[in-house]
């Protein structure tokens, strides 16, 4: 049995953090019913490029779910949804604080209908605090948390990261973790609860080292000046002769010694505590003398913690990830298939078949009338 088989989720969220959280729950066996506005549905349906009738983004994030189209501003909406509220286990929403309360769908109202409901509210800044009502996106959250300040480019200006760290790392994953914890508590108490998931709050977990260095030693991090921000020759990126890149991370001494030996690094720069700049320069010269293919062959079978940077296309064809079944699940729409979004649920706990589609807007409206 899938771990979440028999668990029903009402998903009022849109865009990324909430829909990805409920996708993880769906992959583990939960029945996820997506609540959308009539006519247009989730904002992400309209994005491009398309896969089937809707955007590929929407398709990837909503695989295996059902959809109900209902106007939540309609005074009769709560009554129409009441049977589903009575039977559901989890509610996920992503509105600004107070919006669901005004619609009659806040935690206090729903818990009176169903005291076992676990109500997960995902916002940027949380349900209370000076910024609770502020509109923002991922880039704003990482800027407020001090993370963006550590991502400087060659001109010293911060570079937006290539991943939506706050949305996924600060929103989706903490939401799933706390929902699962709440289910465990409910098993013992019989009661649900409200979860306040703030994307901005959860970014500080990623900065554990920066907080520690700053508060304990007074060494506040700087871009390109610290171990994991490019300040160390043992954790850096170097250009090859054919303008590709080697990601070198021989942090521990045993890996560093292997790395220095493989590169035939001059003895006077192997002690990187003496002159960091000189050691970086020496490594860069060595790496620049060979092509990426030559380095890939040299790294093979060596304990050096080094790899040649892959493109996205190359990563999707990587024999290691393929062998582990990372891309085994497929997403279908309009007679076509593509790779389903990999989620961090181990294969033994996944419930969805290898190929599944995403819901058409309102295809599950029969559920409002008690129809399966």
Query: Cα separation of 129 and 126, whole Å?
Result: 7
Among candidate residues 143, 159, 249, the one with its CA nearest the CA of residue 200: 143
Angle at 225 between CA 138 and CA 267, to 5 degrees: 140
Told to judge if 137 belongs to the known catalytic residues of this protein, a careful annotator would answer yes
Strands 306-308 and 245-248 come out as antiparallel
Q: Which of 138, 167, 201, 226 is an active site residue?
A: 167
Catalytic residue, from 137, 196, 275, 303: name it: 137
Encoded tokens for 134? 């502020």
User: Is residue 167 flagged as an active site residue?
Assistant: yes
Nearest to 228 by CA among 246, 244, 208, 245: 208
- Using only C-alpha atoms, the chain has a radius of gyration, in whole angstroms, of 24
Asked if 223 and 229 count as a contact pair (C-beta separation under 8 A), the reply is: yes
Q: How many residues does the chain have?
A: 372
Strand 118-123 and strand 90-93: the pairing is parallel
**Hey, is 179 helix, strand or coil?**
helix
Q: Note the helical H segments in the chain.
A: 17-27, 56-61, 77-87, 99-102, 107-113, 138-144, 165, 173-189, 208-217, 253-263, 276-287, 292-299, 312-316, 319-323
For the annotated catalytic residues, the residue numbers are: 137, 167
């Amino acid at each position: 049995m899938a771990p979440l088989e028999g668990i029903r989720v009402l998903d009022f969220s849109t865009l990324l953090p909430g829909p990805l959280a409920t996708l993880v729950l769906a992959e583990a066996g939960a029945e996820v019913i997506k609540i959308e506005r009539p006519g247009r549905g989730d904002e992400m349906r309209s994005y491009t490029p398309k896969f089937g009738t809707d955007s590929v983004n929407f398709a990837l994030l909503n695989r295996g779910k059902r959809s109900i189209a209902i106007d939540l501003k309609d005074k009769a909406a709560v009554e129409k949804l009441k049977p589903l509220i009575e039977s559901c286990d989890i509610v996920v929403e992503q509105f600004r604080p107070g919006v669901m309360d005004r619609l009659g769908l806040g935690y206090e109202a729903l818990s009176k209908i169903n005291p076992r409901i676990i109500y997960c509210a995902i916002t940027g800044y949380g349900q209370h605090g000076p910024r609770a009502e502020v509109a923002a996106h991922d880039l704003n959250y990482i800027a407020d948390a001090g993370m963006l300040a550590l991502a400087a480019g060659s001109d010293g200006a911060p570079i937006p990261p290539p991943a939506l760290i706050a949305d996924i790392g600060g929103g989706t994953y903490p939401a799933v973790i706390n929902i699962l914890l709440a289910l465990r508590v409910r098993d013992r108490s019989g009661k649900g609860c409200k979860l306040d998931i703030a994307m901005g709050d959860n970014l500080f977990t990623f900065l554990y080292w920066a907080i520690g260095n700053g508060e304990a030693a007074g060494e506040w991090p700087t871009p390109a000046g610290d171990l994991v921000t490019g300040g160390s020759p043992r954790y850096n990126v170097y250009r090859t002769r054919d303008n590709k890149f080697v990601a070198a991370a021989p942090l521990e001494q045993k890996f560093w010694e292997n790395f220095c030996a493989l590169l035939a690094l001059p003895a006077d720069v192997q002690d990187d505590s003496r002159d960091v700049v000189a050691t970086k320069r020496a490594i860069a010269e060595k790496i620049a003398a060979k092509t990426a293919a030559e380095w890939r062959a040299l790294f093979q079978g060596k304990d050096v913690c080094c790899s040649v940077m892959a493109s996205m296309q190359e990563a999707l064809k990587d024999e290691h990830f393929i062998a582990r079944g990372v891309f085994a699940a497929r997403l279908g729409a309009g007679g076509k298939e593509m790779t389903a979004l990999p989620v961090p649920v181990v294969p033994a706990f996944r419930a969805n078949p290898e190929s599944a589609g995403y819901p058409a807007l309102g295809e599950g409206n029969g559920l409002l009338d008690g129809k399966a």
